[in-house]
Amino acid sequence: MKADIDQFQTDQWRLSASVSSLELFRNNQTKCDQNQEVAFTASVTSGSSTWNSGTLIFDMAITNTGNGYNPSTGVFTSPISGTYVFYVSAVEYSAQHLAIDIVVNSVSKVRAYGHNAASYQTGTNMVVLKLQKGDSVWVRHYSGKGYHTHPVPITTFSGYLIS
């Protein structure tokens, strides 16, 4: 009987140590997630005089720390919850106005507008957003048509985690 009690106490001690180890791992993992760097800047590689609907796909990722931005779809997916800053700059195509929105989960948050008073006017806007892990952010057409590009990117979309 004493041997059974000793074995039970040993098993209980090992189980308690395992639970403590798992709790420590979980706490460290949470701290790592909170310190994760997330930042991207993407640009278009070719202009369009006719683009007039849908998502503006910035197909070249200049920076993509954390891999939240998908250059194939033009969508940023938040890898962790937090407060983010997003910025868009779009140059309208040859005296055609262009209005685009920064969108979160299909809801427009801010609009950038390049007026057609002269050729190649730039529309810009920035927004600070509280996102949950898995939220989607992209740039969507609102009105007008066309955007311009240059070998050094001028139509860009950026975002980064601030806390």
The confidence score (pLDDT) of residue 21 equals: 60
pLDDT tier for residue 32 given thresholds of 50, 70 and 90: very low
Looking at the fold, whether 2 and 72 belong to one and the same domain comes out as no
Average pLDDT over residues 77-100: 95
Residues 6+ positions from 88 with CB-CB distance below 8 Å: 100, 102, 112, 123, 124, 125, 126, 139, 156, 157, 158
Parent domain of 153: 37-161
Tally the residues of the chain. 163
Looking at the fold, whether 14 and 66 belong to one and the same domain comes out as no
Average pLDDT over residues 19-31: 58
Looking at the fold, whether 43 and 29 belong to one and the same domain comes out as no
Looking at the fold, whether 123 and 54 belong to one and the same domain comes out as yes
Looking at the fold, whether 23 and 44 belong to one and the same domain comes out as no
Looking at the fold, whether 31 and 70 belong to one and the same domain comes out as no
Average pLDDT over residues 134-153: 96
Looking at the fold, whether 138 and 153 belong to one and the same domain comes out as yes
Q: How many domains does the chain have?
A: 2
User: Is pLDDT at 55 greater than 50 in this prediction?
Assistant: yes
pLDDT in tens, 91-123: 998 888 999 999 999 999 999 999 888 888 999
Residues 6+ positions from 105 with CB-CB distance below 8 Å: 135, 136
Query: Which CATH number is 62's domain given?
Result: 2.60.120.40
Residues 6+ positions from 115 with CB-CB distance below 8 Å: 92, 97, 121, 123
pTM of the model: 0.79
Looking at the fold, whether 30 and 41 belong to one and the same domain comes out as no
Looking at the fold, whether 140 and 119 belong to one and the same domain comes out as yes
Contact 111, 99 (CB under 8 A): yes
